[in-house]
Amino acid sequence: MAASPLLNQLMTALRCLPGVGPKSAQRMTLHLLERDRNGAQRLVEALQTALDRIGHCRRCRDLSETDLCALCANPRRDRSLLCVIETPADVLAVEQSTGFQGLYFVLMGHLSPLDGIGPAELGLEALETRLDEGEIREIILATNPTVEGEATAYYIAELAHERGIRATRIAHGVPLGGELESVDGGTLAHAFAGRRDWRG
Amino acid sequence: MAASPLLNQLMTALRCLPGVGPKSAQRMTLHLLERDRNGAQRLVEALQTALDRIGHCRRCRDLSETDLCALCANPRRDRSLLCVIETPADVLAVEQSTGFQGLYFVLMGHLSPLDGIGPAELGLEALETRLDEGEIREIILATNPTVEGEATAYYIAELAHERGIRATRIAHGVPLGGELESVDGGTLAHAFAGRRDWRG
């Protein structure tokens, strides 16, 4: 099999997966063809179906196979709270751990003028329309604590303030279970600046 | 996207890949759908083509998209040397590093009576037919140095000896660049038992 073109083609194709280098691609190729052809066939079908049918929710821009995603369509979510967030993975993380009951707006990125990503690419016009609808009381800025994420949060906070809507930023500080000495300086500075009164 | 059935289906399907757990499957799913739909489409096609067209070489049992694989069909390989080996991955490894110029016979496993894998499952009848053809002068046993691999090598060496064909076993010992203190006891015992005269 040293020179089979189809095997080489499959190994190359597998490298589009994040974290998969030449060695893993080879291992995956041989595993699929020798031991798990049924699993491989299921993977082909699941991936093709996902590519054909998953697009974006027209309201929150999250990945969705329906025109309106399950979260936006859910009547029990609090429509007065809107969490602005960078990616679908971030939505998953928040849903899995915070008990947040509002809605989301997924930017699918952050402002990055050098890469040609401005307000239009992040769908901020749709966000403004939504803020103008008057249903939203508070907008929670949950972009990443990076330079671009902070700039994006700042830009969106301005949009909210122009309309008299409260904008909040998630807290940054020392992670639970983290040790002060192993936390980076920026985080520690944030933790000190954002200190709060002890409630005994 | 917290509850999208198609996304969940894709994450589950990706877990058929070796070394991919729930977290990697989620990361791969989002990466493919958000950032690399073209790569994902190529992967679908490469995998489907491989599943449809890659079978086994009728002569050496290696994975092959042709009836006779490129190695078996190559007239420049030495037909008097036959390397018996467990998997297609092992063939790749030998081809990439040893300069071996003979042919292979791929067992696609090793004798393992408890799992129902006997001589028939390893194609040993075809191997016997091949030994009977009289072209082979030496059979190199390159099964893994495990209990099952050793048993398989022993069984095949008997088949060769019955026909007066030389059977050799690849050397086992301390790997190059390895340190004695970090080598396991079995390997060290092998290295001592298999010691050779110093050629100054």
Domains and CATH numbers, chain B: 5-53 (1.10.8.420), 56-169 (3.40.1360.10)
- Measured in Å, how far apart are chain B's first and last C-alpha atoms? 69
Q: A184: distance to nearest CA of chain B, Å?
A: 25
Q: Contact at 8 Å (CB) between B63 and B92?
A: no
Beta strands in chain B (DSSP E): 55-56, 63-64, 81-85, 103-106, 138-141, 166-169
Report the pLDDT averaged over residues A147-173. 91
CB-CB under 8 Å, B36 with A2: no
Compare all CA atoms of chain A with the CA of B3 and give the residue at the minimum distance.
A70
CA A48 vs CA A28, B13, B33, B43: distances in Å: 19, 12, 11, 10
Of A37, A91, A108, Cβ closest to residue B51: A37
Name the CA radius of gyration of chain A, rounded. Answer: 22
**Chain B residues with beta carbon closer than 8 angstroms to that of A7:** 50, 54, 63, 65
ipTM: 0.79
Residue B200 confidence (pLDDT): 60
Of A1, A18, A39, Cβ closest to residue B88: A1
Strand partners, B83: B104, B140
Of B14, B63, B92, Cβ closest to residue A33: B63
Decide if pLDDT at B56 tops 50.
yes
Report the alpha-carbon distance of residue A59 to residue A128 in Å, rounded. 12
Decide if pLDDT at A1 tops 60.
no
CB-CB under 8 Å, A34 with B88: yes
pLDDT tens digits for B3-41? 588 999 999 999 999 999 999 999 999 999 988 999 999
Report the alpha-carbon distance of residue B51 to residue B20 in Å, rounded. 20
Residue A200 confidence (pLDDT): 61
Residues of chain B with pLDDT > 70: what percent? 98
Q: What is the mean pLDDT of chain A?
A: 90
**Chain A residues with beta carbon closer than 8 angstroms to that of B28:** 17-18
Of A16, A43, A69, Cβ closest to residue B14: A43
Residue B20 confidence (pLDDT): 94
pLDDT band of A3, cuts 50, 70, 90: low
pLDDT band of B1, cuts 50, 70, 90: very low
Q: B73: distance to nearest CA of chain A, Å?
A: 12
The DSSP H or E segment spanning B88 is helix B88-97
